[in-house]
Structure 1
């Protein structure tokens, strides 16, 4: 569940299917049921301790009662089969990165749809920038976010349960908002804190600049050096950015040298804090034409990429924290379920094409 004690401008960066199959083989098969387990990944030399979840295809849950996860008074959950056996064939892996103040539950609608198409999907909470753990000292270390995803992949590869079920030659990364920034780092983009600081003088209205200022991102020379390091993970073969933020902090040279397929999906509903022209479109314009694809969800707002909201969710969120009702607001003609279906089709088509 999202933590709504944040102030509204931080909420603005909460970063974070069936109709189309990823291959003809998948289209000819019955839809997979969704198995589910929680993940606890210990700290190691490769990364910090992480908590999250994994969704996976199973055909062994037909006589097992489904469990509703991530469902609460405000948000619609998804049905899964807890601790079900995993299908034997190796499956492609998709890793998810949530946005600022978000958590692993935010894209469960996409995770379950990907599983039904034959993917294994894993997501974790990023310490310091997740709900119930918004901590400036940890959160300012943005370079740890892509490292978290690499640590997750390594842990799954080495795990006796999951290693045999994952096709390690077919790994994709998807991220929303600051999660979109995270997966672009994994593709080879590099953060230039000095460039971002200068840009924020010209565009102080951006939500990304709120985070840079309030979390003191890139404050020290050491931090700026670590932000600029190459965090590319060659195991990731393609990335998808969902209405990302902080794009203008990437060095143009690093974006120009990305060599894996990249799908950039932008929210079309006007948002002065996260304008598509200055974030998703900026990213797209600086990527090599050979590898880039851009789509705009005209009826989507920034938070349309989160879970579907229940009918009284806006009132509940506003009562808890004025301003947080925005999380459940879509574009003027937006219907979140329809938006999710369209995004899912785009994601599956992109994964199949590449």
Structure 2
């Protein structure tokens, strides 16, 4: 079996070379940024949109705080160009669109329109177990976000409708798989959790679904949530994979990149999560990338120099978010940006 670290080194070398070529030929845009809210009595949706622009001022740092580095963009800048690919991002449990500003910024510089909603009920400062229990609302959030872009007078005329992809990290990975045809079975996942009770995804799921009647509609999750407008998917170290039916995974027929992190967290083992997808999805359209140097949190922002110290001093020590991969997170991000571009360019 090939050593995973060797694979990572080789991939980083290959893609660093391709990135250098790309930077000369394709980097021609600045980042524009805007926030909007889709008003809906049922579920208002806050969305961040990054897009290519030629405006350079006034720049501000988006998503910057005492823990994470933000990215520069020109707020409400004029959209530049036509025929732009679209990437939709679904954040992880308890996260927000700010988790992937590194990705949104990098892709907007390359001519992509990137939109990421905050998922009500599972978003930072909006954690609500009752709201989160309807897991099918997450893929609906991404669907509504895409519909908004394709109907908005500014963005719709600048989008290439044949180049639309979805990115999902952690719980967002489940969201993305549902959008490309995976069907989640509550009974199947319950059975998996009896076998592997130590999985972090089982703990989150049971906390979210506690006290619900087993006959509740919330447990009837094996509906077809596929959105045919999406042509590629990128899954970053997902959880809850074992709830997807094997038949539904076998029928996914669009290009999909499944990325797993290393074994820093024993409750998120790649062999029981990401590799479950790989074992059941078509080999002809699915690629697996195992990154031993990555942690589960390598897929969120770059931590500032003193972030670990600050987190250790908090009431709840979350310093693990910024540990282990500190010196490699930027290289991991660049690798993933290049992979996404290679799929949709």
**TM-score w.r.t. structure 1 length?**
0.88
Q: 1:295 to 1:29 in 2, by over 3 A?
A: closer
Task: Give the aligned partner of residue 34 of structure 1.
Answer: 31
Task: Give the aligned partner of residue 181 of structure 1.
Answer: 174
The CA deviation at 1:28 is 2.6
CA contact (8 A) 1:101 1:129 kept: yes
The CA deviation at 1:225 is 5.3
Task: Give the aligned partner of residue 215 of structure 2.
Answer: 221
Task: Give the aligned partner of residue 65 of structure 1.
Answer: 58
Q: 1:22 to 1:310 in 2, by over 3 A?
A: closer
Question: 1:281 and 2:275 equivalent?
Answer: yes
Residue-pair matches, total: 330
- What's the C-alpha RMSD, in Å, of the aligned pairs? 2.2
Classify the secondary structure of the residue corresponding to 1:156. Answer: helix
**TM-score w.r.t. structure 2 length?**
0.90
Deviations 1:257-312 (A, max 9, x none): 11111100111243211111111111111101111000011210000111000111
* Runs (5+) with no aligned partner, structure 1: 1-16
The CA deviation at 1:334 is 4.9
Give the Cα–Cα distance (whole angstroms) in 2 for the partners of residues 42 and 166 of structure 1: 23
Task: Give the aligned partner of residue 192 of structure 2.
Answer: 199
The CA deviation at 1:155 is 1.3
Q: 1:344 to 1:19 in 2, by over 3 A?
A: farther
Task: Give the aligned partner of residue 295 of structure 1.
Answer: 289
CA contact (8 A) 1:330 1:336 kept: no
Deviations 1:45-76 (A, max 9, x none): xx7310021000011x13x1311111111110
CA contact (8 A) 1:238 1:260 kept: yes
Give the Cα–Cα distance (whole angstroms) in 1 for the partners of residues 145 and 181 of structure 2: 18
Q: 1:206 to 1:225 in 2, by over 3 A?
A: closer
CA contact (8 A) 1:21 1:348 kept: no
Question: 1:144 and 2:141 equivalent?
Answer: no
CA contact (8 A) 1:53 1:123 kept: yes
Task: Give the aligned partner of residue 3 of structure 2.
Answer: none
Task: Give the aligned partner of residue 153 of structure 1.
Answer: 146
CA contact (8 A) 2:298 2:332 kept: yes
**Residue pairs, 1:1-354, within 5 angstroms:** 20=18, 28-43=25-40, 48-59=43-54, 61-62=55-56, 64-216=57-209, 219-223=213-217, 226-331=220-325, 334-352=327-345
Give the Cα–Cα distance (whole angstroms) in 1 for the partners of residues 216 and 153 of structure 2: 37
Give the Cα–Cα distance (whole angstroms) in 2 for the partners of residues 70 and 234 of structure 1: 31
Give the Cα–Cα distance (whole angstroms) in 1 for the partners of residues 267 and 127 of structure 2: 20
The CA deviation at 1:21 is 6.2
Q: 1:262 to 1:321 in 2, by over 3 A?
A: farther
Classify the secondary structure of the residue corresponding to 2:298. Answer: helix
Deviations 1:153-196 (A, max 9, x none): 11111112221122222210001000011000000000000010
CA contact (8 A) 1:22 1:351 kept: no
CA contact (8 A) 2:26 2:110 kept: no
The CA deviation at 1:324 is 1.0
* Runs (5+) with no aligned partner, structure 2: 1-14
Give the Cα–Cα distance (whole angstroms) in 1 for the partners of residues 140 and 20 of structure 2: 28
Give the Cα–Cα distance (whole angstroms) in 2 for the partners of residues 27 and 117 of structure 1: 11
The CA deviation at 1:33 is 0.6
The CA deviation at 1:18 is 8.9
The CA deviation at 1:224 is 5.0
Classify the secondary structure of the residue corresponding to 2:149. Answer: helix
CA contact (8 A) 1:96 1:173 kept: yes
